[in-house]
Amino acid sequence: MGILLFSPTGRIGPGEFMKGMMVLAVIGAVISLTGLFSFQISQILGYASVLMLVPLFFLLIKRSHDAGRSGWMSLVWFILWIVIFLIVSAIMGAVMPSGAEAELKEAVEGAMLDGAGFKDIMELGKDMGPAVAKEAAIPGAISGLVGTGIAAFLINLFNKSDDHDNQYGPQAGTS
């Protein structure tokens, strides 16, 4: 698993790519679900989850290599992943709306109209943030799992494996 997620060199086939993407999706879902238990831990892990972009790009690069394409193609696949994730998140937001998020938005808008300062608005987020995190945890986890699964499927669909050795290494699955 280490070479799969922590090295940009070589090639991986559709199955290994899907496995790696699902590992990252499950880690993301677990991070999202921490909002149910601890707002502070959820915030810290949410910021730390940016580090998961490194293994994501390594997977995208190796999948591009398997199709005989440059690793720079991973930027296109990353944009596809972001777009799909945003669409799935918007759908989840419509299906499972957050009352706490709507309350926070109203409170912030009201505070801004009343001329509240930045500190006052940040205080609202601090007070209402745990409720928003609890309500967003399950839809966020579902969005991450579904969005990543759809994106991985599409990336595999558009990235046909090169059946022969290429400049990036031997055919995926052989050494």
Express each pLDDT in 11-49 by its tens digit.
Answer: 999 999 999 999 999 999 999 999 999 999 999 999 999
Q: pTM to 2 decimals?
A: 0.86
Residue with tokens 């915030």: 43
Residues 86-105 have a mean pLDDT of: 88
Whether 175 shows a pLDDT value over 70: the answer reads no
How sure is the predictor about 145, in pLDDT bands with cuts at 50, 70 and 90?
Answer: very high
pLDDT, the chain, mean: 91
Look at residue 174 in the predicted model and tell me its pLDDT: 59
The residue type of 20 is: G
Look at residue 1 in the predicted model and tell me its pLDDT: 65
Number of C-alpha atoms within 13 angstroms, CB side, residue 136? 21
